[in-house]
Chain A
Amino acid sequence: MTTVTADPAPSTPPGRSARPSRLRRSWDKHWYAWAMVLPVVIVLAVLIFYPLFRGIWLSFTSLTEANQAAEICTRSITGGEVCADNPNKWEFVGLDNYVRVLTGEVGDFWQWTGTTLIWTFVCVAFHFGLGLGLATMINRPMRFRSLYRVLLILPWAVPAFVSAFAWKFIFNERFGLANALLTAVGIDPVSWFSDRWTALLTAIVTNIWLGVPFMMVALLGGMQTIPGELYEAAEIDGASAWQRFKNITLPGLRPVSMTVVLLGTIWTFNMFPIIFLVTEGQPAGQSEILVTGAYRAAFEGIRNYSLASTYGVLILSILLVFSVFYRRALRKQGEVW
């Protein structure tokens, strides 16, 4: 019965001071929980939170690759080094970066934001709609069910850059499959990447293809947690298939859908490789979303660290505001999450 492990058993031995400090008791009770999360906390603190706070600080400075040195050293003919203070050293500039970004002095913040919103909304809507539809279809006894399931989840297993490449190949103007199919049915080939909307379309198609499997699997999992008796009862009461879907499946999926829609929105909003590799911002940067636009604005040519940080802070704020409102809206509908 007695535990051999160093369990936090000492529940105030009688001889010692009546009650140990609160911290001590808390430690005794929770040390193994803390020990279990400690590695993750350290890694996140070093690699996520330190960069985050440093990024917030940098966004108020003018740090770039060119002015980061505190001293400029020049090698004299004799071999010695002469160092002088860098006259153009980076400095605190207050809100300058934000003003420059938001007024459109560098980059196209508002256009990128618009594109990002369209991109996120369309992608997530299709992910969820198609995922829900396919999950509903597959969540019933039928022949080849597991075969369909494997085939439909397959795009998830393809690395993002490979799918980006595959779709770029398909949308190639000269020899792509898409144009070949269009020509076959008598439509003129489209030069996909010379118009903002067709370029965006290619990226959206790619991302939908890539993202549906995750939604489908998550929703399918959610559907399987809905008790079958509910459906039986509804059937006995004479509910139609649509009524059963609307009144049992959808409410039963609420917890799952809320989470996956929130996650999907965040992931799509920050989906870097698809736009970066498929459209490359063509034509002339018009199909950029915020992350890719920011990346190009800040890192092409002289790397502008402060500008990159400014964009990062803006993107993070947008997503934080979104998730706060999202959760508040859900809570209003009587869901505590």
Chain B
Amino acid sequence: MTEKTATPPTVTAVAGPALAKTRAVRRTGRSRRSPAMSVLLHGTLILASLIAIGPIAWVLLSSLKPGYAIQSSELTLFRDTTLANYSYVLTETNFPRWFLNSVIVAAFTMSIGIFLSATTGYAVSRFNFPGRRPLMMVFLVTQMFPVAILIVPIYTIMARLGLINTMPALIIAYLTIAVPFCAWMLKGYFDSIPTSLDEAAALDGCGPFATFWRVVLPLARPAVAVTAFYTFLTAWGEVAYASAFIQTDNKFTLAYGLQQFVPQFNPQWEYLTAAAVLVTIPAGLVFFFAQKHLVSGLTAGGTKG
């Protein structure tokens, strides 16, 4: 027992100075900050963090209260704590089915989205082919289209393709939202990977596709993580297309199915809060796995337009 606890300090003792050195080199070290500045810095960050998690925490706390406690004007953190709202949402509604639908739609959007944006981003980053610049412009312009207005024309197309009330309709629609941004972001990241690697791979006998698949893509893991996060989130939380394309209860996605708790005049807040928490958890899980890469993945993507 004592020996076990003794080992970690030695490890940190070895790693410590090196770490401290690199940090000191990078920026002004921690030691040089005055105590007042430290308090101010941490105070601001704590306040900001509280604001960031506050609304989510409040919804989480409210979801544990019964309906009458939610609708009272008294401010309490806990009151008659119960899981009744959750059990209602999980058992009395079609929740499991919607959840499954959402997972399917989000998973397909994510995997196809990563594949499409990666190949496109790579092509745009590496090859100077005719049509490259217009394509980059198109990616920007697609961001300017108001989704709300596009819904009807897309609906007619989907209807003509016979895809109304099917999941492929949603997956395709979400891809059009997510892929332009992701391809553009991945292009920026690929730009930061030296082309000498491609050339070395070509010398070793890799074709352009093999180079991309075996050499460049593994190096772009952070950016791929961001893409995964972004595409998943796009598909997971979208309501407008889902409400237009999906018509039967057993095909609803979670985001749209839960809208049913919001009748025009008498919203059932207690179920809504529980449902909101349940919807957020999977998104939070994906976020948890991706967050490590978010900064580095978006880094290069942002630096070049």
Contact = CB atoms under 8 A, between A and B. Distances in A.
B172 to A, nearest CB: 7
Question: Which interface residue of B131, B132, B154, B237 has the most chain A CB atoms within 10 A?
Answer: B237
Contacts of A311: 146, 149
B45 interface: yes
Interface string B11-30: 00000000000010111111
Contacts of B296: 221, 224
B210 interface: yes
B70 A175 contact: yes
Question: Which interface residue of B148, B175, B180 has the most chain A CB atoms within 10 A?
Answer: B148
On chain B, which size bracket covers the interface?
35 or more
A295 B149 contact: yes
B166 interface: no
Interface string A45-77: 011101110110000000000000000000000
Contacts of A36: 119-120, 122-123, 212
Contacts of B279: 159, 162
Nearest to B23: A141
A153 B210 CA distance: 35
A41 interface: yes
Contacts of B93: none
Contact of A51 (B127, B148, B154): B154
B180 to A, nearest CB: 7
A217 interface: yes
Given A30-B130, A255-B303, A294 B255 contact: no
Interface of B: 23, 25-30, 38, 41-42, 44-45, 48-49, 51-53, 55-56, 58-59, 62, 70-75, 116-117, 119-120, 122-124, 126-127, 129-132, 135, 138, 140-150, 152-154, 157, 172-173, 175-176, 179-181, 183, 203, 205-210, 212, 229, 233, 236-237, 239-240, 255, 259, 262, 269, 272-273, 276, 279-280, 283-284, 286-287, 291, 294-305
16 contacts: A26-B130, A54-B153, A143-B30, A148-B49, A152-B48, A154-B53, A155-B56, A157-B283, A162-B280, A166-B56, A184-B75, A224-B296, A231-B26, A235-B28, A290-B146, A305-B152
